Amino acid sequence: MALTTGHVDDARIPPGPSVETQEDVGAVARRLGVCDELERSIATAGEFFPGPIEVNVRHDPEIPNVEYFELRVVGNGALDDLHARRMAWLRATARIAGKHAGLFCLSVDIEE
């Protein structure tokens, strides 16, 4: 799985934390028509979880032909705080992506 840093084709990666993406992230975002939503979702993840963000395209093993974007971040602090920040990201992503919100998943690796 090759990762690149920086630009996701038509989706501009926001300045700030480094963002690593799979090569096919931009192509999938274009095909699904969610380049702007992806860009804004990444920026929002960076606001709640400063630091590196890894973006991957995932496939639902139970539902054929379903793709979604996993935004993987690292969080530290109390579990209640991590949960509150993740829930805030979910609410923000629901506003940003509307009917496409289900295409975005935030995975938080807990750092102690």
Mean pLDDT, the chain, whole residue set: 84
Please report the pLDDT score of residue 6 as a whole number. Answer: 46
pLDDT for 104 beyond 50: yes
- Domain CATH number, residue 20: 3.30.300
Q: How does pLDDT run across 8-21, given as a tens digit for each residue?
A: 544 555 445 567 67
Q: Which H or E run contains 5?
A: strand 3-5
Please report the pLDDT score of residue 13 as a whole number. Answer: 52
* Contact yes or no for 112/44 (Cβ under 8 A): no
Radius of gyration of the chain from its Cα atoms, rounded to whole angstroms: 13
Count of domains observed in the chain? 1
What distance lies between CA 22 and its chain's CA centroid? 12
| Full domain range(s) for residue 38 | 3-111
